[in-house]
Homo-oligomer: A and B are copies of this chain.
Amino acid sequence: MPKTILYLDPDSKLNLQNQIRQRLVDGILSGAYPPGSKLPSSRKLAEQLKVARNTVVLVYQQLAAEGYVVTRERSGLFVNPDMLSTRVGHGIVKAASTARTGSAWRRRIKATISDPATRAVPNWHRYPYPFIDGKFDPGLFPLAEWREACRLSMSVADVREWSTGNGDADDPMLVHEILTKILTRRGIQARPDEILITMGSQHSLYLICQLLVDKSVTVAMEEPGNSEFRHLLEQRQASVRPQPVDREGLVVDERLAGTDLMYVTPSHQIPTAVVMSPQRRKALLQAANEHDCLIIEDDYECEINYLDQPQPALRSMDTEGRVIYVANLSHVLASGIRVGFIVANADFIRYARALRHAMLRHPPLNNQRAVAFFLSLGHYDALMSKLARVLQERRLALRDALNFYRSVSIEISPEVGGTTYWVRLPPDFSVGYLASEAERRGILIEPVAHYYADARHAENCFRMGVTSLPLERIRPGVVELTELIRVLVSGRVEHLGTSLGQWLTGDELRDAMADKTIIYNVVYGVPCTIELHADGTMKGTAGYANEDCDVGRWWVDGDRWHRQWQQWVYGEEAAYYIVINDDQIKWFNEAQQLVDSAFIRTMVEPG
């Protein structure tokens, strides 16, 4: 038996048996327990770990059945010497270290890829006040209902159906449920061959653009409109024609002549949330027929429709088969699970299906079946009703808070629908600067300039949404934000002596920093989290896959806080004066000038 001591984590979500199993397997595969080495008896291991002997016996039986260990008569249990024989390089040499050099990739890249401008802040859900529309707080996820649907989708018979894949076909059960439980709600009747399941609306739009758009094509888009769709059009080198939106939706006039394709979001316009009027819908379809033009109808955020008397989808009014209808499952489900769909004429769906097959075969069939059960049990309808109620409450809370706290220097746009409000800052004030300052206080807001083809139209606006923010956080979030605006607008320069908040020193400073988490954006926009432990160690994690980590030390010496990373910032020591103002931490340099600030909170153990 290797000397390695097995350590059980009392906070693990695995049960004891699985924990022991995982540790043993890790040890065997990593070579910590070499092939042929003897394992301790179940009695001994049980004693060592302080668990029931039977627990260890069960683990050993499982490992033996799977070939990790072998029994030798009267000698005990050994790591199977053959288990690792198929592992490359085992017992021979360490694999050659992979080269990181010689990259010069840029010259090899043939595609036009723009970093999406609307990319949400990663880890947005770790901020206390994410006023971002279209994201949902995990508290709204229908956990018990989804577990039930998943469990049902894993019956022997169901797994037989979804585990093997089936060419380019979708799950017939899901197609049926969407036809009967979602499309009827939108007034749409369709046949199964008029539906294609996708990985969500973005995937639907990507497929459509690949099929219908190239540089010979002119596309009319709402102005302001969905900037991610505009990026897709730009990648396909289409001519984009921005067409204004008024209080009835897309303006239908002679400027639509000569377009091949129109992209509209009639039930909840992106980003204004205007609902297209019935008259306008009729006019739009008529214009499409006149100009021999196709319509992409993006039925964005169906949960919002509950707030108003919903209008039937354009697709349901289309007598010439010109409308391609795109929808997601509710974002609450779709963000993690990624299911959406396209409804269009069977001819078009056939092409889209062939392209999807070449691109990725089909969306995962296990998820298709689980979503089908979720719909068939009525959980989806119940979820939508609940969301309508919750979002209505939140919208009113935002309205009231904005009404009460707004500073005289800003302007709230009249209500147009949906769950967002638009805020306009004074003309000499940068909304980008406000957004980054707010982020340092844990508040996320969304500047809207990227929604405009001509960004001059909305330089000083931002949008506040409440889909991702629980009710009780709305008012404090608005208070923080308006306070920040007040301070910034008053044009105050921040020096240590006059800084808002508490200037901490000595033991007070040490106590204030211990066991805190700092959430931070490094200059090139990558998210970063720093954990300050009471014992003077600290740990930093950065990057989208937490790929950049470092550890270091921190301490207080007199009036200043010191820190030193092992590798980050050249491993050099630095010292700062610290001011803490509620959830904000501010660093001042030797000259007592503000250097940086971030959001700080008491450390929470995951789990």
Contacts and interface: CB of A to CB of B under 8 A. Distances in A.
A86 B391 CA distance: 15
A279 interface: no
Interface in A68-92: 68, 83, 86-89
Given A88-B313, A367-B367, A377-B22, A235 B358 contact: yes
A532 interface: no
Nearest to A95: B187
A166 B123 contact: yes
Interface stretch (A349-357, A402-410, A471-479, A482-490): A349-357
A18 B109 contact: no
Contacts of A125: 160, 164
B366 A95 contact: no
Q: How many monomers of this chain does the complex have?
A: 2
Interface in A306-359: 306, 309-313, 315-322, 332, 335-338, 345-348, 351, 353-355, 357-359
A136 B353 CA distance: 23
A3 interface: no
A363 interface: yes
A339 to B, nearest CB: 8
A87, A123, A187: most-surrounded residue (chain B CB, <10 A): A187
B119 A319 contact: no
Nearest to A378: B25
A226 to B, nearest CB: 13
Contact of A364 (B103, B164, B338): B338
B318 A99 contact: yes
B29 A306 contact: no
A526 to B, nearest CB: 10
Contact of A152 (B14, B212, B365): B14
B347 A364 contact: no
A366 B336 contact: yes
Given A29-B181, A337-B366, A361 B98 contact: no
A336 B103 contact: no
Contact of A320 (B99, B166, B210, B336): B99
Interface string A1-25: 0000000000001100010011001
Given A98-B316, A360-B199, A360-B206, A141 B167 contact: no
Contact of A231 (B170, B358, B362): B358
Interface string A222-242: 000000100110010000000
Contacts of A430: none
Interface stretch (A454-462, A543-551, A559-567, A573-581): A543-551
Contacts of A543: 192-193
Closest 7 pairs between A and B when the two form their complex, measured CB to CB: A25-B378, A66-B382, A192-B547, A95-B187, A88-B187, A165-B335, A122-B167
6 contacts: A86-B305, A105-B351, A138-B160, A150-B154, A168-B544, A336-B366
